[in-house]
Amino acid sequence: MTSFLTRGAILPLLSLLPVAGAGATDFIDDSKLKLQLRNVYINENFRDEHGLSARSARTAKSERTEWAQGFLLDFQSGFTPGTVGFGVDALGLLGVKLDSGRGRSGTGLLPVHDDGRAADEFSSAGLTAKAKLAKTTVKYGTLLPKTPVLIYNDARLLPQTYEGAQITSTDIDNLTLTGGHLDQFKLRDSSDSRSIVPDGYSGTKGGDFSFAGADYKLGKNIRLSYFYGELENFYRQNFAGIQHDLPLGSGVLTSDLRYFHSSDAGTAYGGKIDNDMLSGQLSYAISGHALGAGYQKLSGDAGLPFVNGATVYSFSNVGVGKFIEEDEKTWMLSYGYDFAPLGMPGLTFMTRYLKGDDGKSNSNVREWERDAEVAYVVQSGTFKGLGVKLRNYVYRSDFSRGRDSNRVYFTYDIALW
């Protein structure tokens, strides 16, 4: 796989660019090629049968356990010289099964065949053409969108990818403008491109996803953002957010306020949606300690809609649950510690607790989650950048299956040039 993007293989791509020859040097000299290795182990034990029919409960898995190795080869070219510079990016992805079984598959690390067995391996590759004028960049091809209305999922072995076009501009000081149009995507455990659909949708329709928005820095301590996203014939969504840093004593108090308004769009294949979600979090960081508390409230018809498989831009989308059901209200507490002040840079610890319900005595929308994480990244020497992360999630719900989840991640980035 490493031969997929050698310098020898890249040079012929220059013939596709409007400015070749003299531009070849800048195209290559400013390029980067990185190989990331990911080794992931996941064990999940289900603790109850909530959300299952009696028949399903008899056949449902009580455990899911898998171990896999991922390879991510990421090439980013420089730009050819001139008023408009051109370039090419490429992404190669490979996932390899190390351990699984028909009775233990389905962790999200690997594709699952019709017979219930995980695939031995899966792979995909993507190319992205790009052009740059001043501080505005246009990309077309394989994309990894990261906006409040759509965030690609990168929480397992390989990242979720999208196909389409995106433009980003920072020509105005302190202002970043972003827009795009996407027509296909691949799930994090699949090599198949498919139409974009919302989470929970089981029909045959799909739609394109369009988005646009702005991030603005107001001075040193305030960040404002607004984004609009629409999944064609499913839903449209407006987002507004504000973040503020306040020096307080020897630390910094950060406030983060987020608001979503979502409604159905077009033929509304996914059903009626008229939902508001308001969430806020305060966090205080001092001498390696970080203490946070937050509250989130949904109101209206349906829960918060989002693209299938994507990450939700919410404080509550952290481990197992998402806490974005209709009318749900969630309290959140978190604590983290960076051991650098104690002379152990690279070592961190985090724990959090979330509890949500809709406040209705006759409803089953009740859930809670407790998470803990220890991580270490080697800071120097031969294995500088080698990271290990241990995660434990405990989740219980009145409408979904409870589970205890243990996950181990090893990551290592190798700069090939």
Q: Give me the tens of pLDDT residue by residue for the chain, a chain 417 residues long.
A: 333 344 444 444 444 444 444 456 677 888 999 999 999 999 999 987 555 555 455 557 789 999 999 999 999 999 999 899 999 999 999 999 999 988 889 999 999 999 999 999 999 999 999 999 999 999 999 999 999 999 999 999 999 999 999 999 999 999 999 999 999 999 999 999 999 999 999 999 999 999 999 999 999 999 999 999 999 999 999 999 999 999 999 999 999 999 999 999 999 999 999 999 999 999 999 999 999 999 999 999 999 999 999 999 999 999 999 999 999 999 999 999 999 999 999 999 999 999 999 988 778 899 999 999 999 999 999 899 999 999 999 999 999 999 999 999 999 999 998
Residue with tokens 């996203």: 229
Query: CA dihedral defined by 12, 16, 19, 22, rounded to 10 degrees?
Result: 10
- Cβ within 8 Å of residue 352, ≥6 positions away: 292, 318, 332, 333, 334, 335, 369, 370, 371
Q: Kindly report the number of other CB atoms within 10 A of residue 365's CB atom.
A: 20
- pLDDT on residue 256: 98
What span, in angstroms and rounded, lies between the C-alpha atoms of 9 and 125?
Answer: 15
| Number of residues that this document lists for the chain | 417
- Both structure tokens of 245: 């840093």
Count how many Cα atoms sit within 13 Å of the Cα of residue 414 in the half-sphere of its side chain: 11
- Both structure tokens of 346: 């690279």
- Both structure tokens of 232: 């064609």
Q: Kindly report the number of other CB atoms within 10 A of residue 30's CB atom.
A: 14
- pLDDT on residue 47: 84
Rg of the Cα atoms in the chain? 23
CB 396 within 8 A of CB 368: yes
Q: b or e along 96-130 (b: 16 or more beta carbons within 10 Å of the residue's beta carbon)?
A: bbeebeeebbbbbbbbbeeeebbbeebebbbebbb
- Cβ within 8 Å of residue 53, ≥6 positions away: none
- pLDDT on residue 341: 94
- pLDDT on residue 61: 78
What span, in angstroms and rounded, lies between the C-alpha atoms of 254 and 250?
Answer: 13
CA distances, 256 to each of 152, 222, 305, 350 (Å):
21, 10, 21, 19
Helix (H, G, I), strand (E, B) or coil at 44: strand
What span, in angstroms and rounded, lies between the C-alpha atoms of 245 and 256?
Answer: 9
What's the one-letter identity of residue 176?
T
According to DSSP, residue 16 is labeled G
- pLDDT on residue 53: 53
What span, in angstroms and rounded, lies between the C-alpha atoms of 218 and 224?
Answer: 7
Helix (H, G, I), strand (E, B) or coil at 314: coil
Count how many Cα atoms sit within 13 Å of the Cα of residue 122 in the half-sphere of its side chain: 20
What's the one-letter identity of residue 372?
A
Q: Kindly report the number of other CB atoms within 10 A of residue 197's CB atom.
A: 22
Count how many Cα atoms sit within 13 Å of the Cα of residue 234 in the half-sphere of its side chain: 27
Give the residue from 294, 235, 291, 234 showing the smallest Cα distance to 263: 235
Whole-prediction pTM: 0.90
What span, in angstroms and rounded, lies between the C-alpha atoms of 57 and 77?
Answer: 51
